[in-house]
Structure 1
Amino acid sequence: MIRRPVMGRPHRLGGEHLLVSLLVLYVSFTTLWPLARLFSAAFQPGEDGTPLGLMLTTLASRSALRALSGTLQTALLSVAVSTVIGVALAFAVSLLKLRTRAALTFLILIPLIVPSQTMALAWIELFGAQSPILKPLGLAPPPGSTNPLYSTGGIALVMGIEHMPLVFIAVRAALRALPADLVEAARILGISPGRIGLRIVLPIVMPSVLAGSLIAFAAAIGNFGVPALLGIPGRISVLTTLIYQRLNGFGPAAAGQVATLALVLAAMAALTIVLRNIVTTRIAVPLPAGTPFVPTRRAPVIEFLLWIVVLILSLVPLAALTMTALLPAIGVAFGPDTISLDQFRAVLDNPTVRRAFANSLLLAVITAAISMLVAVPLAFLSQRRTNPVLRLLDFVIEGPWVVPGTVVALGMILAFLKPLPLIGLSLYGTMAILVIAYLSRFLPLVLRPVAAAAQSADPALDEAARITGAGLNRRILSIFLPGVLPAAAAGAILVVMTALNELTLSTLLWSSGKETIGVMIFALQYEGNSTGAAAVAVLSTLLVLSLAGGATLIGSSMPKGTLPWLE
């Protein structure tokens, strides 16, 4: 009786070793191999055999320098917008007693939930000469004039609002951990609320402000949807759009050049994440343990003003987009006699659009399902073992989510353009390459909630099952899975919400018959069919928001922080 578990242990450990090996193969195929091909393409010698000649020639070109300058300008300006708005909203929502706090929080996060290209299109319709909202008010640009958003400032404004929730989330998390004693002591001393916020609270949460700003910067340099829809018409070049244009114009022949540009993006993103980690680990102010601060001061006037600001940032652009989709054509004034569902009927009758919705749904569901199957055993092993291979896997898995999507897509092209060994088939131009790219990109969205839920699980249950001789599969399926299933389901919903309207990967990897929703919105707008693009964007946004509502319904059973809009 005593020796049986000991005798069975090598077999059980062998099962865990096999599972680790399978996970290593999975991550190597979906992530390591594409990134390795990207590096090898960028570090090719020049035409004259000079080491790193291709990289040096590409980086010295005027187009690359112009795109790099445009990337830095738009990203830095957008971070300024994100930081100012995000910090102000976080302070108001966290330090004031608001009756509508939950609703305000959800609306503040709308720019992060709604896809990048949809928000860009919404702002285009809001500020255009034919704006259904600004034109009746006499605030729209003159007819025939260029949309003011087709500029560096316009790109920075829209990206800044889109990434503002990243700063908001980081600062609000710090404010929610603020000790109540600290604020109460300041009040007893007679310090005004304004000075408490600026002189006491802001310095304490400044590391979180910096961390959120750095995340916003990383998101900005990798953003494709906004620079593509605003920058290409305005002749504003950034690295993501330059990569897209080079691949569209020269195809795989430009692989080495675009790989170099992609590595520049990856290096900038990696440096940003390193700086963020330094800020959070070395600069952050340790707060004394105590009762978290609970706001008691009501401010109905400020709450009213908050609603105005949040509605302008989140819903007014979407309202302009919806109103545009209800018009029969651009240039027609919006009114009761011109409202029509013709554009919705037209896009739904379009077989290409229907195929795009079907493809996106299929890709999103497959990605979510496979990511759950991978995340659950990986979280199980990571929480119970100190295997260095697992720690390395965890680091590698974060890579495709941290680096810009353009980098991931280019790695996929280089890895799967040629026929695969043994089977002799090329995945380029097939749905399979999109599936692999999505799996590589979105696995962290499932893994993080599952890992958070696994940390709160009681390890004694697994140890008891191990002692009684339960096999690895039984321990995972019967003991570990029930405890993390709500978190895994929440992560899967986040994957579906994100993948449904994905644009960056799809734009570089799609082929005829493999269109996605994001590609269709971009293509319709690029062709000048703004009302059709608006209709598709509205339908896709309604789909995403319905998924967000479904996730909210099961939010009480999820780990805290899984859904950022929940209290």
Structure 2
Amino acid sequence: MLLVPLGRLALTGLAPGGVPDAGPLIEALGAGSTRRALVNSLVSAGASSVLATLAGGLIALAIGLTDIRGRGVLTFLVLLPMMIPPHVTAIAWIQATGPASPLLLLLGLAPAPGSENPLYSAGGVIALLSVQNTGLTFLVVRTGLRALPRDMSEAARVFGAGPGRMLSRVVLPLVAPSLIAALALAFVSGLGNFGIPALLGIPARFTTLPVLIWRRLTSFGPGMLPDVAVLAVIIGAVALLAVLAQRRAQARAGVSLTGAPQPALALRLGGARPFAEAALWAWVAATLALPLAALVSTALVPAYGVRLSADTATLESFREVLFVQEAPLRAFANSTLLAGVAAALLAATAVLAGYFASRPARLPRAVAGGLSTLADLAYAIPGLVISIAMILVFLRPLPVLGVSLYGTGGIILAAYLTAFMAIALKPVAAAYARLDPALDDAARTSGAGFSRRMRRILGPLTAPAAASGAILVFLTAYNEVTVSALLWSTGNETIGTAIFNYEDSGATPLAAAMSVITVLATLCLMLLLDRLGRRAPPGVVPWRD
């Protein structure tokens, strides 16, 4: 799932015919379309990652270190846009800002007919990528804040440091590695994002590398695989360089801490608290309430551009999606099944890999460490690149078995296992790092075999972390479109591809209706998990303390 696809992709791009040849790579970099797409990708990913890190970091500091009221609800709402598919975010904002927006027409705020949507631009792509990735950076920085020992901040306060000085001299230097990680994750996420640049960038002729790959492969078919493999190698190399730069920067900014993590400070904001709370709720309204209201209003009109009123409001689009057309229901079933199976398999794999990575034996530890490194690399590589690697591996029937995965749900599942393995591994590896090895050694001394130790001791102790990783894998895979954009086929549609195809074909009310249903399903699932998390061990639900 990791070594073979990534290796095949590298060989196809760098050694066509099995002989190393830099010619195709040099030719691709010399093409004007490739250079423009590469520059656009770097600009959009770089600018959006800086903005997302600033926004997410400020929100994390406000919620994590002050006496803001309603922190639990705010945390949930800030993270919710991260769980909404990027192309749904793009569709929602297009319908909230364009001259044909039913919501703006209802409010009498629509621009003049025929005017261009301001989001169809490089700035629009950067803005929506920033909104999409703010939840991710917030989660990373918030996790770093929760891991800080409280005694340093308390010592600074005892010596008379005010909130501003304590923040600049104590808190920010200690969370610098988390800020760097958030910046790198936002950059990689923006670099590989397909939905937002496709829906906003194509009308503005602002083409990024993932969109260029998609257009060439969908226009010319599998015959373009060698050419797009070269483009995939380029974008994969950029992502890898970003990860290496992150690790180098974190190593320089890292600070050794003593003491266990403790409850974070709750700095009193005094008279500034109402203004801080108003700013946070305004962010939630602007990034969540406004686009969702636009989606709902578009789903309720018979055609895009019709003014919403009591006479024009209709549920026909919802009826069409839920009861008439077969593709949407298949997409919901396929996404639920594929995401669920991927989450379960990766959780089990993470428990096993985490165990061997924590053992002193050299060979098992080296193998597990190699798996973790490959998983990090696969996560850093954009999903569209993973899709191309899967096509290269599974286009022909499997040896011996004679079964082809191409054109089936199996190839999408394989791509999910590759792309999201790191999400499942990280929390489990952290859980094993906190376990005392004496527990496993005592069980071995008492004669317990490997399966019994896993079932009775290690499995239960790492189950909360494995469940947390599985939840994140499921929510990520359930709503994605980037990985499956090149792998779906009739009968194997996913939620993301079904919505994208509706919007791409001009069936905007149907796309809006299915998007509303998807958002409601995601919200209900997160609320159910949040409720179950009240009785579950700490750490099972990622957004709960």
> What's the TM-score once normalised by structure 1's chain length?
0.88
Corresponding position of 2:76: 106
The CA RMSD over aligned residues, in Å, is 2.5
The answer to whether 1:518 aligns with 2:496 is yes
Q: What is the correspondence of 1:131-146 to structure 2 with a 5 Å cutoff? A: 131-146=101-116
Corresponding position of 1:4: none
Structure 2 gaps, min length 5:
none
Separation (CA, whole Å) in 1 of partners of 2:172 and 2:341: 44
Partner residue of 1:302 out of 265, 272, 276? 276
Output one character per residue of 1:350-395: Cα deviation in whole Å (capped at 9) or x when no partner: 1111111121122112212222332222223223344212211221
Corresponding position of 1:35: 6
Q: What is the correspondence of 1:138-537 to structure 2 with a 5 Å cutoff? A: 138-176=108-146, 177=148, 179=150, 182=153, 185=156, 189=160, 191=162, 193-194=163-164, 197=167, 201-202=171-172, 205-286=175-256, 292-298=264-270, 299-348=273-322, 349-386=324-361, 387-537=365-515
Separation (CA, whole Å) in 2 of partners of 1:489 and 1:167: 22
Corresponding position of 1:566: 544
Does the 8 Å contact 1:208/1:284 carry over to 2?
no
Separation (CA, whole Å) in 1 of partners of 2:392 and 2:21: 21
Larger Rg: 1
Cα deviation for residue 204 of structure 1 reads 5.1
Q: Give the letter aligned to residue 211 of structure 1.
A: A
Separation (CA, whole Å) in 2 of partners of 1:284 and 1:105: 26
The answer to whether 1:117 aligns with 2:87 is yes
SS in 1 for 2:104: coil
SS in 1 for 2:418: helix
Structure 1 54/529 Cα, relative in aligned 2: closer, same or farther at 3 Å? same
SS in 2 for 1:148: coil
Output one character per residue of 1:105-158: Cα deviation in whole Å (capped at 9) or x when no partner: 111112212111111111111112133443444443322222211110000000
Identity across matched positions, percent: 42
Does the 8 Å contact 1:401/1:441 carry over to 2?
yes
Cα deviation for residue 550 of structure 1 reads 2.5
Separation (CA, whole Å) in 2 of partners of 1:288 and 1:488: 27
Does the 8 Å contact 1:120/1:229 carry over to 2?
yes
More deviation, 198-207/459-468: 198-207
Separation (CA, whole Å) in 2 of partners of 1:205 and 1:376: 28
Separation (CA, whole Å) in 1 of partners of 2:170 and 2:429: 35
Structure 1 gaps, min length 5:
1-29
Does the 8 Å contact 2:176/2:253 carry over to 1?
no
Separation (CA, whole Å) in 2 of partners of 1:95 and 1:484: 29
SS in 2 for 1:69: helix
Structure 1 381/44 Cα, relative in aligned 2: closer, same or farther at 3 Å? closer
Structure 1 358/182 Cα, relative in aligned 2: closer, same or farther at 3 Å? closer
Q: Give the letter aligned to residue 212 of structure 2.
A: L
SS in 2 for 1:507: coil
> What's the TM-score once normalised by structure 2's chain length?
0.91
Q: Give the letter aligned to residue 374 of structure 2.
A: V
More deviation, 526-535/119-128: 119-128
Separation (CA, whole Å) in 2 of partners of 1:154 and 1:479: 51
Separation (CA, whole Å) in 1 of partners of 2:229 and 2:242: 20
Separation (CA, whole Å) in 2 of partners of 1:371 and 1:173: 22
Does the 8 Å contact 1:179/1:288 carry over to 2?
no
Separation (CA, whole Å) in 1 of partners of 2:173 and 2:121: 34
Corresponding position of 1:78: 48
Q: Give the letter aligned to residue 326 of structure 2.
A: P
Does the 8 Å contact 1:42/1:55 carry over to 2?
yes
